[in-house]
Structure 1
């Protein structure tokens, strides 16, 4: 498990890319990169915002979400380039969404819902 890259977003989210790839047959590799999204939950002095109070009760001061990027059947000579492309594509497409003002609340709300329903996806 090797950390490939770390990015700090303008809204305080921290992204960490961790390589969990392996060779599975001959010279073919399964590239698997975990994206760890560290969310620092805002401090709430009053009970006016019940959402953040509930979130802090459930998760504490911070929450780490994990997303997985995967590509199968990558030839050995293409591993480094494909790995960089996976990270680059994720940053290009996800960062504009993650930096939106409402995304922090949406990420936490989604995780609260998953914990409540016990479902991994939505």
Structure 2
């Protein structure tokens, strides 16, 4: 995120914050790739304990990931004329908040997200054990 331009912030009802960073570029003539990266840092602490995430799992997640787990998603649209870049970028942000924001602001999102990341890590670890 060091070279990204922060273009918007959105606070969710559950206290999480969405950061929208622009990474687009011009790739041919007046045609642009509009790319917005959505970042949400989910804290790993005991308040996240739930039916989805036990205290031992939380402790394991903290050991593996540290104090936070990062949700990251790229939104992009290709072949955007120069005059339309700002409008398309704003639409990508607005549509993400309208569609995914409702899901992400649910009370259980953070604990489910941490549990999923922990499960993904365990699955990757198993794959490495059985590598021929």
TM range (shorter): 0.7 to 0.9
TM-score by length of 2: 0.80
Deviation of 1:51 after TM superposition, in Å, equals: 2.0
Deviation of 1:112 after TM superposition, in Å, equals: 1.8
Contact 1:12–1:40, Cα closer than 8 Å, also in 2: no
Q: Deviations over 1:32-83 (max 9, x none)?
A: 1100111112237xxx722211111111111222110010010111100000
- Looking at secondary structure, tell me which structure has more helix per residue: 2
Query: Unaligned regions of 5+ residues in structure 2, if any?
Result: 48-53, 125-132
Q: Does 1:19 align with 2:25?
A: no
Bigger Rg over Cα: 2
Deviation of 1:114 after TM superposition, in Å, equals: 2.6
Poorly superposed stretches of 4+, deviation over 6 Å: none
Query: Unaligned regions of 5+ residues in structure 1, if any?
Result: none
| Equivalent position SS for 1:100 | coil
TM-score by length of 1: 0.86
The 5-angstrom pairing of residues 31-70 of structure 1 reads 31-43=34-46, 49-70=55-76
Q: Does 1:89 align with 2:92?
A: no
Matched length:
115
CA RMSD of aligned residues (A): 1.5
Other-structure match for 1:107 = 113
Structure with bigger RCO (C-alpha 8 Å, 6+ apart)? 2
